[in-house]
Amino acid sequence: MKDEYGLFDSGNKLKLEQLGEYRLIRSSPLSDYPVSKPKLWEDWDAKYTKNDRGSGEWSYRKKIPASFTIKYAGIHFLCKLTPFGHIGLFPEQKFNWDRIRDAKLSIPGSKAEWEVLNLFAYSGGSTLACLQAGMKVCHLDASKGMVEWARENAKLNQLDKKPVRWIVEDVTKFLKREINRGKKYNGFILDPPTFGRGSKGEVFKIEEDLGSLLDQLMILCDYKPKFIILTCHSQGYSSLSLEKMIATRIKNEGNFESSELWLDESHGGKYPAGSCCFFTDKNL
């Protein structure tokens, strides 16, 4: 399956992308450096500009449908150009989707019994990768619209009949209830925002809430997770700091793969796209 997403260049706090048939320019606050290929930027179909109200607007040189589908990383995605500049996927997560489907997360006869909790699950890329790998999933996001979007993606990939629970709720409230129920999970995937607000005004601030969230996850796996994928796009959270946050909480031995997330640019450069820690139990 040929990928229909690509990154041409980045710089001047922007990035130049190919999304299906369309070439986009979107904001990229961490790209505080000069562009590498200025001539590439002359050709674009839609450009997103942020405003001072926390959102922004798109300007168009070409008519683009309200929604369209692309294929990327072995998954079909429904894409939309949203008022917040999102497109429906975080392409740098491709590395983790490949890891989820990797054979080392498979113990013959047991993986189908695994249940994974995917928090801040957005449009469901990681959920779909888990379903492709034969796992059960609980997909959680505070946005009803995003959960509906993820369900549409599941249908696109003929995975909507697979074992998945779709939950719209504040993450802290949900975790407290699961702990009270005595629920257990085998693996966790989380890509927490720097700041988030639930549908009922609940507030998540990563510097205040990430540690306690991880504490709750440990209770849900008896401090012995099969795997954890923790990614972060917030300044101040390196891959090593994410590893330390996990390593000091778990009680089982395992392997850590901690690194930056990045995307390859068409001219050979690398686009920095966050930090990641991937933990797997030693028996995997």
Beta-bridge partners for 169: none
When pLDDT is averaged across residues 69-80 and rounded to a whole number, the result is 97
Confidence of residue 15 (pLDDT cuts 50, 70, 90): very high
CA–CA separation, 176 vs 267, rounded Å?
Answer: 47
The pLDDT of residue 105: 62
266 has pLDDT over 60: yes
Domains present along the chain, CATH in parentheses: 5-74 (2.60.40.1180), 90-281 (3.40.50.150)
Beta-bridge partners for 193: none
Amino acid making up residue 59: S
Whether the Cβ atoms of residue 185 and residue 191 lie closer than 8 Å to each other: no
170 has pLDDT over 70: yes
The pLDDT of residue 12: 97
When pLDDT is averaged across residues 82-105 and rounded to a whole number, the result is 89
Q: For residue 6, with 0-12 CB atoms within 10 Å meaning exposed, 13-18 middle and 19 or more buried, which class applies?
A: middle
When pLDDT is averaged across residues 4-29 and rounded to a whole number, the result is 97
The pLDDT of residue 212: 92
The pLDDT of residue 194: 67
1 has pLDDT over 80: no
CA–CA separation, 97 vs 83, rounded Å?
Answer: 27
The residue behind tokens 């429904």 is 78
Name the more confident of 104 and 102: 102
100 has pLDDT over 70: yes
Beta-bridge partners for 18: 6, 23
Confidence of residue 208 (pLDDT cuts 50, 70, 90): low
- Give the count of beta carbons closer than 10 Å to the beta carbon of residue 154: 21
Name the more confident of 249 and 111: 249
pLDDT digits (tens, 9 = 90+) for 59-70: 999 999 999 999
The pLDDT of residue 223: 98
107 has pLDDT over 60: no
Kind of pairing between the strands at 270-281 and 5-11: unpaired
When pLDDT is averaged across residues 182-201 and rounded to a whole number, the result is 80
Close Cβ partners of 130 (under 8 Å, ≥ 6 residues apart): 100, 116, 118, 137, 189
55 has pLDDT over 90: no
| Per-chain mean pLDDT for the chain | 91
